[in-house]
Amino acid sequence: MKSYRKMTREELLAEKAHRQKQFDAKKAEGLKLDMSRGKPSTAQLNLSRQMMNVLNSEVYYNDETGTDVRNYGILFGIPEAKYLMGKMSEVEPEDMIIFGNSSLNIMFDTVARSMTHGVCGSTPWCRLDKVKFLCPVPGYDRHFRITEFFGIEMINIPLYQDGPDMDLVQKYVENDPSVKGIWCVPKYANPTGYTYSEETVLRFANLHPAAEDFRIYWDNAYSIHHLYDDPKKQDYLLEILRECRKAGRPDMVYKFISTSKVTFPGAGIAALAASQRNLKDIKKYMQVQTIGHDKMNQLRHVRYFGNMANMHEHMRRHAAILRPKFELVETMLEREIGDAEIGEWTKPRGGYFISFDSMDGCAKEIVARAAEAGVKMTEAGATFPYGRDPRDRNIRIAPSYPTETELREAMEIFILAIRLVSIEKLLKEGQEA
């Protein structure tokens, strides 16, 4: 296809009329397709159905120490859950606390605790004139909603293929004591699918924060979520807690993980790994906050998987469902608009999202146009703090939930929306030239 940017006005008008006719036909079908969130599909959820049979009225409900998990106690997680989640997170069991089903909940509580009581004895953030967080963009909208909820000022940090702009991160962290944290999705990032390079991880570990209570919020949500079985097609991430210890700054990181996209998002288990000083600080508040999380669910997960080899095999079955969907999106984008010069997109090797960048000023209108024809997508701007994309160009594509047939239909509409909005922009620019 000829580049839209090289078309004459007459060619653009003819192309617009052609694509509008296609779009109107799709709109008339009355479709309702959802690509708004990175939810596992029904087929993926069914992979874990047998886990529901692990605990029944006939089984032994005690953990490996003999403690009955049906009762109160074991506030910080049963030992075998710490071991399994430690392996998943590449840390030792003693570095872990096991929580409920949501790592996002742990992050919210961690920020809330810092606001009201400070971090390891430091001044509570609520008593400070200003609290700031660094936000690699495009990034995870729910991270940004947490910091916005607490009135924390968010600062955009460009995210590249090897990680955030570390020169900018270092400048803020080492010179501004009001910078208290940074959000990170370091592996198969939401929404780009990028993984931080070894150099980036090492630069994080060797930061010299101006604030003693600065923490890296390391949300390793997609740690084992590869799309390909071949190790050469999988991303590798250096383990941050170990590197912080090597650098003499063991307290600088909170590492979050969960089985939300391994088993059941609504009934997984989540965990936090950190230094002993950080864990001691967190445990003080947990002893007031709760008598304990769902230990039966912890036991269910441990007995179902047994070890990390079985969990990796389970994730290969997830990949077999997800991989064709990602490849479908990438193939359709390349075939339909690869030469049109009206958009760019990432090609991740894992995770749950593809990041699409339209021409500047087009993202909101593309998402709105797709919605007219029945395709629901993540709101344009959501991948930036305060929902404001300065260039109005980033759109998150979430291929996981629809069936392949539904995904193909949704992508046809999405691509038509990209075409139409891009043509309209080019025509407007031509008029103004």
Q: Give the DSSP letter string of 248-313.
A: T-GGGEEEEEE-TTTS-TTS--EEEE--HHHHHHHHHHHHHH-S---HHHHHHHHHHH-SHHHHHH
Domain 61-306 matching CATH 1.10.287.1770: the answer reads no
* Residue 163 DSSP SS3: strand
CA-CA distances (angstroms) from residue 430 to 10, 337, 340, 364, 372? 11, 21, 17, 21, 26
The CATH class for the domain spanning 4-44+312-432 reads: alpha beta
Length of the chain: 433
| Residue 128: φ, ψ to 5° | -95, 155
Domain layout of the chain by residue ranges = 4-44+312-432, 61-306
Q: pLDDT value at position 160?
A: 97
Q: pLDDT value at position 289?
A: 93
- Peptide bond connecting 158 to the previous residue in cis, omega within 30 degrees of 0: no
Other residues' Cβ atoms within 10 Å of the Cβ of residue 80: 18
Q: Fill in the amino acid letter for 313.
A: E
Judged against a pLDDT cut of 70, whether residue 150 lies above it is answered with: yes
Averaged pLDDT of the chain:
96
Over the stretch 374-403, which tens digit does the pLDDT of each residue have? 999 999 999 999 999 999 999 999 999 999
User: pTM value?
Assistant: 0.96
- Average pLDDT estimate for 322-342: 97
Residue 109 CA to residue 244 CA, distance in Å, equals 23
- Average pLDDT estimate for 188-205: 98
Contacts of 282 (CB under 8 A, 6+ apart): 97, 110, 113, 272, 274
Over the stretch 83-132, which tens digit does the pLDDT of each residue have? 999 999 999 999 999 999 999 999 999 999 999 999 999 999 999 999 99
Q: pLDDT value at position 430?
A: 79
- Average pLDDT estimate for 226-252: 97
- Average pLDDT estimate for 418-425: 98
Tokens representing residue 433 in the block: 């030239």
Other residues' Cβ atoms within 10 Å of the Cβ of residue 24: 12
Judged against a pLDDT cut of 60, whether residue 355 lies above it is answered with: yes
Which band of pLDDT confidence, cut at 50, 70 and 90, is reported for residue 221?
very high
Tokens representing residue 307 in the block: 């070890």
Other residues' Cβ atoms within 10 Å of the Cβ of residue 120: 16
Over the stretch 252-273, which tens digit does the pLDDT of each residue have? 999 999 999 999 998 999 999 9
CA-CA distances (angstroms) from residue 170 to 74, 154, 175, 207, 245? 40, 16, 8, 7, 19
Query: Under a CB-based contact definition with an 8 Å cutoff, are residues 147 and 108 in contact?
Result: no
Judged against a pLDDT cut of 80, whether residue 60 lies above it is answered with: yes
Judged against a pLDDT cut of 70, whether residue 432 lies above it is answered with: no
| Residue 181: φ, ψ to 5° | -170, 170
- Average pLDDT estimate for 274-282: 98
DSSP state of 226: B
Q: Tokens 């003499």 identify what position?
A: 248
Bridge pairing between strands 153-160 and 33-35:
unpaired
What angle, rounded to 10 degrees, do the helices at 404-432 and 308-337 form? 40
State what percent of residues in the chain have pLDDT above 70: 100
Q: pLDDT value at position 348?
A: 98
Torsion of CA 145, 329, 89, 62, to 10 degrees: 90
Q: Which residue in 397, 402, 374, 427 sits closest to 24, CA to CA?
A: 374
Q: pLDDT value at position 2?
A: 84
Q: Tokens 């900018």 identify what position?
A: 168
Q: pLDDT value at position 433?
A: 53
Residue 261 CA to residue 266 CA, distance in Å, equals 10
